[in-house]
Amino acid sequence: MEISVDAYLLDSVNMLLRWAHIITGIAWIGASFYFVSLDNSLTPPKSPSDADKGVGGEQWGVHGGGFYHHQKYPVSPGYVPEQLHWSMWESYSTWLTGFALFTVLYLFNASTFLIDKTLFDWTPTAAIATALAFFVVFWVLYDLICRTLGRGPKGDRVVGACVFVLIVIASWLSCHLFAGRAAFLLVGAMVATTMSGNVFFWIIPGQRKCVAAIKAGQPVDPRHGQRGKQRSVHNTFFTLPVLFAMMSNHYGFTYGAQHNWVVLVAIMTAGALIRLSFALRHKALAYGQPVPWHYAGLGTVLLIATLWAIRPAPQPTSVATAPVRFIDVQAVVAQRCVLCHGPTLQSKNLRFDAPEEIIKHAQAIYQQVVVLRNMPMNNATHISDEERALIKRWFEAGAPPK
């Protein structure tokens, strides 16, 4: 089979960017989870001298054959250590590789991957501009909510409720403007951009101001630490919802559901609840309190209920039918698939314009067209349920070549 050089290069860039995105994402999420668990596991220092030095909490841990003694200075240790570790490159690298991947896969192929004309018929330029606007508008509104409503004893709850409503609106809008697969990813990328925005605009600048004040021998403003912790906590609750959105493109039954925006919100909410349970678990264990598993239980129930609600309807028992002829299957493939898998364009380096190639890749065609219903992409070629059923019967009969 002849492979297009352009298609090969695109897939190579896709692979390398995806790999880099996963690696940096693991580093960022790992650091975030670690510091949240550490922060929630701190207990008041046992030594009065540590408390006098400004230590607000400590944790003893064992790992890798050694013991660790972690101490946290909520405001200032009084000096700047020679070697000071900063956690920022993980966030920036994850966002840069993710945005590059989003650009290669969706923005460069907007007419194919971003636009579903049965939902909204517009130009690629307008779709791209709107997709990018999601990142900017969500960040501006989220940041405004945090800065204006995040004060007082109930500030965190008010912010959480407002951000939830904002995500619901963004999910509804995205799923009504863009192809389902792109819509889910866009919402995840939008929230992930906000996570990096928290690091870039608040967490790191606040830490730099604290360091500068200590070096100058000036009092450290405690608000920098309070704001940094607030945004860091938000980031840890965003993590599991974003991870689902990133992997959702492999599961057409989620973004292809009738009310897909409800599915997106429900599963993201389930992820946030599960993450909340694990975050609170560290504090509960540190103080000998019962672990709040009910949040994880509620999230799990919501997740199972959502998957149950969108399950496919049971298929009636089929009556005996005439054997499917390969020529009929080939006609469907030629009309619905060859546009992206033919002599001009070989998406994923696959061509289906020859009988032997269709038979060779029968299982992949069956999985993508019948089981996952991912292909044709956004059903751009309008394959019918009857044609999917034809491919199903052909494959289940052993994919005969005649």
In a domain, 50, yes or no: no
pLDDT at 113: 87
Q: In this structure, are 84 and 31 located in the same domain? A: yes
End-to-end CA gap in the chain: 21
Check the CA dihedral 360-363-368-373 and report its sign: positive
User: Has residue 316 got a pLDDT over 70?
Assistant: no
Instruction: Please state, in angstroms and rounded to a whole number, the distance separating the CA atoms of residues 365 and 348.
Output: 12
Residues 281-289 have a mean pLDDT of: 88
Domain count, the chain: 2
In a domain, 68, yes or no: no
Q: What domain range is 112 assigned to?
A: 5-41+75-309
Query: Of 68, 69, 66, which Cα lies nearest the Cα of 55?
Result: 69
Instruction: Please state, in angstroms and rounded to a whole number, the distance separating the CA atoms of residues 210 and 137.
Output: 29
Q: Which of 4-13, 184-193, 236-245 has the lowest mean pLDDT?
A: 4-13
CA angle, 51 then 284 then 71, to 5°: 30
Higher pLDDT, 349 or 336: 336
User: Has residue 254 got a pLDDT over 90?
Assistant: yes
Q: In this structure, are 242 and 337 located in the same domain? A: no
In a domain, 175, yes or no: yes
Q: In this structure, are 189 and 254 located in the same domain? A: yes
188 close to 246: Cβ distance less than 8 angstroms: yes
* Whether residue 153 has a cis bond before it, omega within 30° of 0: no
Residues 347-370 have a mean pLDDT of: 86
Full-model pTM: 0.86
In a domain, 24, yes or no: yes
Residues 340-366 have a mean pLDDT of: 84
pLDDT at 317: 53
CA angle, 359 then 335 then 338, to 5°: 60
Residues 228-238 have a mean pLDDT of: 93
Confidence of residue 298 (pLDDT cuts 50, 70, 90): very high
Q: In this structure, are 254 and 361 located in the same domain? A: no
pLDDT at 2: 42
Contacts 24+ apart (CB under 8 A), 280-286: 280/40, 282/36, 282/37, 282/40, 282/41, 283/40, 283/41, 285/41, 286/40, 286/41, 286/42, 286/43, 286/59
In a domain, 52, yes or no: no
Q: In this structure, are 142 and 190 located in the same domain? A: yes
pLDDT digits (tens, 9 = 90+) for 71-116: 999 888 888 888 898 989 999 999 999 999 999 889 988 988 899 8
In a domain, 341, yes or no: yes
pLDDT at 14: 86
- The average confidence (pLDDT) of the chain is 90
Domain termination residue (choose one: 284, 309, 334): 309
402 close to 137: Cβ distance less than 8 angstroms: no
Element (H, E) at 63: strand 57-63
pLDDT at 349: 77
Higher pLDDT, 119 or 270: 270
Higher pLDDT, 351 or 42: 42
Q: In this structure, are 128 and 227 located in the same domain? A: yes
What is the Cβ-side half-sphere exposure of residue 312, based on CA atoms within 13 angstroms? 10
Q: In this structure, are 352 and 294 located in the same domain? A: no
358 close to 333: Cβ distance less than 8 angstroms: yes
3-class SS string, 179-224:
CHHHHHHHHHHHHHHHHHHHHHHHHHHHHHHHHHHHHCCCCCCHHH
Highest mean pLDDT among 135-139, 149-153, 277-281, 286-290: 135-139
pLDDT digits (tens, 9 = 90+) for 163-175: 999 999 999 999 9
183 close to 260: Cβ distance less than 8 angstroms: yes
Q: In this structure, are 360 and 252 located in the same domain? A: no
142 close to 166: Cβ distance less than 8 angstroms: yes
Query: Of 389, 350, 354, which Cα lies nearest the Cα of 369?
Result: 389
User: Has residue 321 got a pLDDT over 70?
Assistant: no
In a domain, 97, yes or no: yes
User: Has residue 372 got a pLDDT over 80?
Assistant: no
Q: In this structure, are 304 and 218 located in the same domain? A: yes
Residues 380-400 have a mean pLDDT of: 87
Domain termination residue (choose one: 309, 343, 364): 309
Highest mean pLDDT among 68-77, 296-305, 343-352: 296-305
114 close to 178: Cβ distance less than 8 angstroms: yes
Residues 310-315 have a mean pLDDT of: 78
Confidence of residue 1 (pLDDT cuts 50, 70, 90): very low
Q: In this structure, are 331 and 374 located in the same domain? A: yes
Confidence of residue 134 (pLDDT cuts 50, 70, 90): very high
In a domain, 92, yes or no: yes
pLDDT digits (tens, 9 = 90+) for 3-52: 455 667 877 888 999 999 999 999 999 999 999 999 999 999 999 998 88
Beta-carbon contacts of 81 under 8 Å, excluding residues fewer than 6 positions away, are none
Q: In this structure, are 149 and 254 located in the same domain? A: yes
pLDDT at 5: 52
Instruction: Please state, in angstroms and rounded to a whole number, the distance separating the CA atoms of residues 267 and 304.
Output: 9
Instruction: Please state, in angstroms and rounded to a whole number, the distance separating the CA atoms of residues 244 and 294.
Output: 21
pLDDT digits (tens, 9 = 90+) for 323-342: 888 888 889 988 888 888 88
Q: In this structure, are 277 and 334 located in the same domain? A: no
Q: Which of 53-57, 151-155, 188-192, 194-198 has the lowest mean pLDDT?
A: 151-155
pLDDT at 382: 81
Dig out the tokens for 62 from the structure: 């064992």
